[in-house]
Amino acid sequence: MSRIGKAPVTIPSDVTLTVSDDNTVTVKGKLGELTQKINMNINLKLSEGELTLERTSETKEAKAQHGLSRALIFNMVEGVNEGFTKVQELVGVGYRASNNGQRLELALGYSHPIVFEVPAEVKLETESAKGKSPLIKLTSHDKQLVGQVAAKIRSLRKPEPYKGKGVRFQGEEIRRKAGKTAG
């Protein structure tokens, strides 16, 4: 039995969770509303501030969906209650980031600036301080969307292993390689 799937999802008092007949879960909170369709192999039982998930059968697919469904619902509840934040830093000489509303303008060492349109559900902030790497801060109630946007920004210039230049998550360790040695 899935250890993650067995754990009940605790619902805070300021969050409302509803389950429809076709296994669609809707979560509303102070930061927004999220909806997710759950596989029919999973039974959802809502009682007194807790949601429990049970498998209808012991098939391989049902076992795979058990933990996944619980994690998705847990992330929805946490997202509408507290939200999620990803912070990225630009490491490299001349690398800059600025935003104008939901438009992120990046200078990443290419011959042209890169303009990236961020979805409306994600709040975008940029910070530039002298002597420090520029920071990009993404905040939203949808964990999947924040992660997807952050991954897309990172893919514009991945950190390279020799000097470590590129877009990286704050606190991320880059495995460095030794360069050539003069003979």
For the chain, the average pLDDT equals: 91
* Per-residue CA distances from 121 to 85, 89, 138 (Å): 13, 21, 10
Residue from 32, 44, 45, 37 nearest 141 by CA: 32
What are 150-173's pLDDT values in tens digits?
A: 999 999 999 999 999 999 999 989
Strand order in 24-29's β-sheet?
16-19, 24-29, 32-37
Instruction: Flag whether the pTM goes above 0.85.
Output: yes
User: What average pLDDT score do residues 20-26 get?
Assistant: 91
Go through the domains of the chain in sequence order and give each one's CATH number: 3-81 (3.90.930.12), 84-169 (3.90.930.12)
